[in-house]
Amino acid sequence: LLLLLLLAVLSLLAPGAVAYGCDTHSFVSATAVLEENTCQGLELGHAAAPSEKDLEEFAAALRHNTQLRHLEIENTAIPEHFFHTLGEVLSQRTAPLHSLELNRVGMDEQGVLALGVFLHSEVGRALRKMDLSHNSIADRGLEEIAKTLANSMLHELEVEDNQIGNVGVEELARAVSDSKLREIDLNYNRGITEDAVLLLLQASESSTLTEIDVKGCGLSPDGARRLLQKQAALTRHVKLDLDKNLVRRPLDKVSRRKNKAKDWTESDVVCLFFIFPLAYSLCSLCFLCFPFKVTPLFPSSQQQIWVRNIHPSLASYAPLFEDNGITGDVLVRLTDDDLRDLVPNPVHRKRLASEIRGLLTSDEL
């Protein structure tokens, strides 16, 4: 067993060995990684504004690289004209790209149209995941993406926090039935209302779609209820996230509360000025006299089970989390930098981050 382990380590250190996650913070270092042709996943983040020479060298290295399968550029301002170059370069690659993430790069619908060269190409049809979140993409950009779905292998589309409205979502709904999409993330696009989401939900009946996220959009309470009713009537299960939309109390309940507030009784006055302050003082005194330590409900041993249940490929991280004493209260406070140190694989890291965010809205802790 020790011999096999030694051989595995030597194979990773050997020249030409392929790594998965390669993090860089400049176009120059990213170009060097691409030229080495030994990395399947490249993350370029928080980079300074590149020169034209840097962009040209990066594009040339990306075109000739044959190992890269995951490309992520985030928190980096990209000149508008470079999106045209990027679309052409990606379409000319001989090796397919499975995941493309361009977050907070200043992309608008013109940038999406420029990427259309890649999305319509034979290589672009092999893309499994595309994340264009936190940009300035409007309806026309989403319409362009919808046109590419018929012959695409795209499973996951994320366009969170853009400027998308109903027109773009309606076009997407018309294209969903002929696509292989499974997850659509439209969170925090304030222009999206229940009418467009209802069309998307109806289209999911005859598609492969299993999850629609419209958190923080422009849904009304009545619209949200209609969507939930439609979801319950579907013949196949589709997860629908309606959190953080416009939720208001019905008018009759508000009126009753206002009317009730006008009629103060003697018992109301006693509770407000005597019982409540007394109860608060007693509770404070108990905490001071009898301090106790809260034991987390999600210990590290249970955390191992949680990690293994997410996906078998993540089971190897369970012992690592336990060795570092990561319990439930620590788990939900892990930052991206913390996960970057613990989980080298960028895809695994994003999956864990998504699951941790889900814990904050569940009862598992």
Q: Are 108 and 138 in contact (CB under 8 A)?
A: yes
pLDDT of residue 283: 73
- For range 284-292, the mean pLDDT: 62
User: What is the percent of the chain with per-residue pLDDT over 90, rounded to a whole number?
Assistant: 59
Q: Encode pLDDT of 79-128 as tens digits.
A: 999 999 999 999 999 999 999 999 999 999 999 999 999 999 999 999 99
pLDDT of residue 331: 74
Confidence of residue 180 (pLDDT cuts 50, 70, 90): very high
Tokens 């046109």: give the residue.
147
| Sequence-separated contacts (24+) of 353-357 with Cβ below 8 Å | 355/310, 356/331, 356/332
- For range 236-244, the mean pLDDT: 91
- For residue 358, give both structure tokens: 């889900």
Q: Are 173 and 198 in contact (CB under 8 A)?
A: no
pLDDT of residue 19: 58
Confidence of residue 270 (pLDDT cuts 50, 70, 90): low
Evaluated on CA atoms 150, 151, 154, 160, the torsion sign reads negative
Evaluated on CA atoms 46, 53, 82, 34, the torsion sign reads negative
Q: Is the pLDDT reported for residue 365 higher than 60?
A: no
Q: Is the pLDDT reported for residue 175 higher than 50?
A: yes
Q: Which residues contact 338 (CB under 8 A, 6 or more apart)?
A: none
pLDDT of residue 254: 41
Confidence of residue 15 (pLDDT cuts 50, 70, 90): very low
Q: Are 183 and 157 in contact (CB under 8 A)?
A: yes
pLDDT of residue 241: 93
pLDDT of residue 260: 43
Report residue 156: phi and psi, to 5°. -135, 125
Q: Are 138 and 109 in contact (CB under 8 A)?
A: yes
pLDDT of residue 259: 40
